[in-house]
Chain A
Amino acid sequence: MSLIAFLGAIETGLLFGIVALGVFISFRVLDFPDLTVDGSLPMGAATSATLIVAGVNPFLSLLGAIIAGALAGLVTAWLNVRLGILHLLASILTMIALYSVNLRIMGKPNQALLGEETVFTPFEKLIDLPYYWVTPIVLFAVIVILLVLLNLFLSSETGLGMRATGVNGRMAAAQGINTGKMKLVGIALSNAMVALAGALFAQIQGGADITMGVGVIVVGLAAVILGEATFSTRTIILATIGCVVGSILYRVVVAVALNADFIGLQAQDLKLVTAVLVVLAMTLPGARQKWAKRKSVKGAGQ
């Protein structure tokens, strides 16, 4: 594949790595299946695009997206914590509502950003490399910052309390942790991150579209799980890095699948090929372990 396609996979992988981190917080840390992300990603995109077109500084538009995402997350968590609605259902309700909200924000289903100044524009001027290098570099820096902040948080007293809430809520309460508050904060944080990814995505892709959110939760989960299968999860730091690795791996697999035509596969087969490659990627480390075990057992028997 070409360098641009490869860098494109890295770029998209890093971007959805932000989504994967958000999904990690809700699914893994808080054990809270959260489908709100299907609505908060386009919400971030819509907010950022609308603000930029209205003349707001692109960096400030990111802030707007983050706040919007946090609010969306708060609604879902509030429905669950205060009204006692099942978490999965609460997130679906918010996701559905966000469809209308996002349409309202943009005033239409698609807000184009081609030709507008984005957060990447100043870096493109600053860094003396072609744009297809600049975007992944900037995203890499963003991911590193987010990883550092997230890990500092999760290893803090409050962060540890949030982790305990997801692992054993009853015990956490007995230690004085306000589990309801932890859920509100955690789900808000998770969706704020996803909305940030949405905003960056719109700026890279050239526009915010109402259909952007379909399937985001699946992509996010695939990244988290792929990361767990191929990367270590011994510590929280490694687990979070694994999410980003999983996301990049997934996108590289898609890029490879896009090139599968020379062995007779066609465009329609893309998703099938992607799925097969993902399965291979997940079973490879397991196969390696089994082989090593087999070898040692054989040796022990002799």
Chain B
Amino acid sequence: MFNKKILGAFATAAYIGVSALFPAVAQADSKTVKITAIVEHPALDAVRKGVKDVLGENGYKVGENLNWEFQSAQGDVGIAGQIAKKFVGENPDVIVAIATPSAQAAVASARGTIPIVFSAVTDPVAAKLVKSWKASGGSVTGVSDMLPLEKHLQLITDALPNAKTIGVPYNPGETNAVVLVENFKKIAESKGINVVTASAPSSGDVLMAVRSLVGKVDAIYVTTDNTIVSAFESVVKVGIDAQIPVFAGDTGSVERGAAAALGFDYYDIGRQTGQVVLDVLNGKTAGDIDVQGVEKTNLHINLGTAKQMGLTFDEQMVKKAAKVVE
């Protein structure tokens, strides 16, 4: 039995030796794209697919003229750092980093030597990935998944012209959620609308948090906060019981009961990112490209639950909708 162990050990040693001697071999005349995400998650996976599809549509075929490598940090910030270093050491044409911790690790390791395109980072300026949304030189750019908050606010005020206060449940431990809520508050208040928040550090706390908004708000708005979204049914229940219309930041929630949502698809964000990657591969300097926000939005409406929440949409809005759920 120990022989197998020795064999196994020798195999490991040989493998380590080989992999040390032969780093990822690049083919001549082909481009190398290394892509990483902090964790595997439907939204982040969709971004990756979007990037790959756009590259494919523009003549970059994996195995022919495109070296493509993906590594997931499996939720571990330490591993994200090691992945970043591995990528930098392999000197690709561009590194694509999905989500804030992976993007920060990539930028810290590359030190400006390799173009980096981030994606699905809500506030790239706060994350210190770029100095501003406008092209500011350097070698970093990307696509933010910051919600088009003005459009969301517009949606709510169009549906409820008399709304004065909006309630927002959120998880104070999610970076993106915190940023979104702060920004939404600023925008709403600049338009004379109050925002009341309720915090729910885990999905089990959502019901109670939303209940605390009853009697204080005219509408409830849920951002793309993973915690709240994961317990979305609780939010809908309170909305129906207390006759408070619930609006969401992502379209998936409309099927689960939100009255309406102006959402975007992470796949579309992926495609936008792919376009940026394409520009970089074709010679453009990353630092000369503006950071992009979400461009394509779709309006989804749920007439059934809207009615239960005491809300009727006018004809115009229903016509504009990309999808209507009865």
Contacts and interface: CB of A to CB of B under 8 A. Distances in A.
Interface string B71-86: 1101111111111111
A290 B108 contact: no
B75 A4 contact: no
Interface in B48-90: 69-72, 74-86, 88-90
A69 B65 CA distance: 51
Interface string A247-269: 00001001110111111000110
Given A114-B104, A206-B104, A109 B174 contact: yes
Interface stretch (A25-33, A81-89, A212-220): A212-220
A110 B89 contact: no
B173 A103 contact: yes
B9 A5 contact: no
**Nearest 9 A/B pairs, CB to CB:** A2-B89, A8-B85, A4-B89, A206-B108, A112-B128, A114-B128, A206-B104, A5-B86, A287-B5
Interface in A265-302: 267-268, 270-271, 277, 280, 283-284, 287, 290-291, 294
Contacts of B84: 8
A212 B129 CA distance: 18
B45 to A, nearest CB: 11
Chain B CB count within 10 A is highest, among A3, A7, A112, A256, for: A112
Interface in A223-264: 251, 254-256, 258-263
29 contacts: A1-B86, A3-B89, A5-B90, A8-B85, A8-B109, A11-B85, A12-B81, A12-B82, A16-B78, A99-B201, A108-B179, A109-B172, A109-B173, A112-B129, A131-B111, A205-B77, A205-B80, A207-B104, A209-B77, A209-B100, A210-B175, A212-B77, A255-B86, A261-B69, A262-B24, A263-B15, A267-B70, A280-B8, A291-B2
Contacts of B81: 8, 12, 204-205
Contact of A112 (B79, B126, B173): B126
Contacts of A108: 175, 178-179
B19 A262 contact: yes
B20 interface: yes
B82 A9 contact: yes
A110 B111 CA distance: 20
A205 B105 contact: yes
B154 interface: no
B315 to A, nearest CB: 42
A254 B178 contact: no
A210 B81 CA distance: 16
A211 interface: yes
Q: Is the contact region of chain B dominated by helix, strand, or loop, or is it mixed? A: helix
Contacts, number: 155
Nearest to B83: A258
A176 interface: no
A115 interface: yes
Interface of B: 2, 5-6, 8-9, 12, 15-16, 19-20, 23-24, 40, 69-72, 74-86, 88-91, 100-101, 104-105, 107-109, 111, 126-129, 172-175, 178-179, 201
Interface in A3-22: 3-9, 11-12, 16
Chain A CB count within 10 A is highest, among B24, B72, B109, B129, for: B109
B107 A110 contact: no
Interface string A103-127: 1000011101111100000000000
Contacts of A260: 19
Chain B CB count within 10 A is highest, among A103, A110, A214, A263, for: A110
Contacts of A290: 2
Contacts of A112: 104, 126-129
Contacts of A262: 19, 24
Nearest to B80: A205
Interface residues of A, number: 59
B72 A268 contact: yes
Contact of A206 (B70, B107, B173): B107
A215 B175 contact: no
A256 B19 contact: yes
B27 to A, nearest CB: 14
A132 interface: yes
A260 B20 CA distance: 11
B82 A258 contact: yes
Interface in A60-79: none
A97 to B, nearest CB: 12
A100 B172 CA distance: 9
